[in-house]
């Protein structure tokens, strides 16, 4: 089955193009833009890990190593499209316009951290596994009924493809020809379970055949392969030619979350090796340096600018007004129910010391 779904690659880990058809399509502007967005996402991820260890944010979900998958795919979207992330897709959210400060508020457990800017169709990250897939199909169908050419993209891991919601969502999209891109990030593990123990399928992409939609398999550490493949799927969806399942084969360096210990179930030497052989940022850096487009000074300038942005966002998030009791009760329904009002009143009485 791997032969039917070969992994598509444009830029190899050594920084050399393996598909010359893209020589003219990969411009200096595009390469610099994608590299900058990946660097920004990685630096924020590393900073958030440190913030969690310092107790300044709660449990955090890292994504270092998956930048090409997240940035390459979200960079192919246009204003008005829909993005349905999991709890790990901050890089994609950031690239599609989610403010850095709002992301930090999310990990501080604040309600405001779930609210996208006006006009940005980014829904709150899904914590249940795969529940966002039927929602993404529904949003795409709604846009088509409204007469727009907007599409939706939905992110999920390999473990999600074993859930019922995966099959319901992709079947729904297939039957109604929804303009939805199902973007799977396959890093080989569903938390601690290797994919060989999770499913008998050799690939994720082959699951598209059961629903008679297109399935493709790409090198998820190659940002150009991710970008151009997603772009093609989006164009197809806008034309009315239906959904696509993209399997982006990648590797995450760190654990599932900051409460997890990956050394118990994953080969850490493999992760160290991959930082040199398949890293998504390093291969683009090698490519651009060979072209003479960038040097170390350019990279350092980008780092300094991003560091300032991150520090400003942290300061703003930590100085955000303290949460009031209203946040806990007032945003559950449009009009509070009697029992919620009763609970709120009881809580306020307790706070006031009334028995």
> Considering only CA atoms, which of 192, 195, 135, 127 is closest in space to residue 161?
195
Please indicate whether residue 12 is annotated as part of the active site: no
202 and 232 Cβ atoms separated by less than 8 Å = no
Say which of 265, 274, 286, 320 is annotated catalytic.
Answer: 265
State the virtual CA torsion across 216, 222, 224, 228 in degrees, nearest 10: 10
The CA distance from 247 to 226, in Å, is 10
- Spatial strand order of the sheet with 82-84 comes to 7-8, 214-219, 244-249, 180-186, 152-157, 82-84
Helix spans in the chain (H): 28-53, 67-74, 90-95, 100-107, 132-146, 164-175, 195-198, 223-239, 268-277, 280-291, 296-318, 326-329, 338-352
Please indicate whether residue 211 is annotated as part of the active site: no
Please indicate whether residue 256 is annotated as part of the active site: yes
- How crowded is the C-beta side of 164, counted as CA atoms within 13 Å? 0
Say which of 42, 88, 144, 252 is annotated catalytic.
Answer: 252
CA dihedral sign of residues 273, 274, 277, 280: negative
Alpha-carbon radius of gyration of the chain: 21
Phi, psi values for residue 7, rounded to 5°: -75, 120
Which position has the token pair 């449990």?
A: 59
Q: Residue 115 class from Cβ within 10 Å (0-12 exposed, 13-18 middle, 19+ buried)?
A: middle
Phi-psi region of 352 (alpha: psi -120 to 50; beta: other; left: phi over 0): alpha
> Considering only CA atoms, which of 296, 231, 291, 236 is closest in space to residue 11?
291
The CA distance from 244 to 229, in Å, is 10
Say which of 150, 217, 256, 266 is annotated catalytic.
Answer: 256
Phi, psi values for residue 43, rounded to 5°: -65, -35
3 and 217 Cβ atoms separated by less than 8 Å = no
- Active-site residues, by number, are 252, 256, 265
């Amino acid at each position: 089955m791997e032969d039917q779904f070969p992994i598509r690659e444009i830029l190899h880990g050594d920084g050399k193009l393996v598909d010359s058809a893209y020589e003219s399509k990969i411009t200096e502007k595009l390469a610099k833009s994608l590299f900058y967005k990946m660097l920004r996402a990685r630096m924020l991820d590393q900073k958030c890990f440190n913030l969690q260890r310092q107790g300044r944010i709660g449990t955090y979900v890292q994504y270092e190593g998956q930048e090409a998958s997240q940035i390459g795919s979200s960079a192919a979207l246009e204003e008005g499209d829909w993005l349905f992330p999991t709890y790990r897709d901050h890089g994609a959210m950031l690239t599609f316009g989610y403010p850095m400060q709002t992301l930090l508020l999310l990990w501080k457990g604040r309600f405001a951290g779930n609210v996208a800017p006006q006009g940005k169709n980014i829904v709150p990250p899904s914590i249940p596994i795969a529940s966002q897939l039927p929602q993404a199909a529904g949003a795409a169908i709604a846009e088509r009924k409204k007469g727009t050419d907007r599409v939706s993209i939905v992110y999920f891991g390999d473990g999600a493809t074993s859930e019922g919601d995966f099959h319901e969502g992709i079947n729904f999209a297939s039957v109604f020809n929804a303009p939805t891109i199902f973007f799977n990030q396959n890093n080989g593990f569903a938390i601690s379970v290797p994919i060989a123990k999770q499913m008998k399928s050799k690939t994720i992409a082959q699951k598209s055949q059961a629903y008679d939609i297109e399935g493709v398999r790409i090198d998820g550490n190659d940002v150009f392969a991710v970008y151009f493949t997603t772009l093609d799927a989006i164009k197809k969806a806008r034309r009315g030619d239906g959904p696509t399942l993209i399997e982006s084969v990648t590797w995450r360096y760190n654990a599932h979350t900051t409460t997890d210990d990956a050394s118990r179930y994953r080969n850490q030497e493999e992760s160290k090796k991959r930082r040199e052989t398949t890293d998504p940022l390093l291969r683009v850096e090698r490519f651009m340096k060979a072209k003479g487009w960038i040097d170390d000074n350019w990279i350092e300038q980008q780092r300094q600018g991003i560091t300032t942005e991150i520090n400003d966002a942290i300061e703003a998030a930590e100085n955000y007004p303290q949460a009031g009791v209203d946040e806990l009760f007032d945003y559950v329904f449009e009009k509070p129910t009697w029992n919620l009002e009763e609970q709120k009143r009881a809580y306020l009485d307790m706070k006031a010391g009334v028995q």
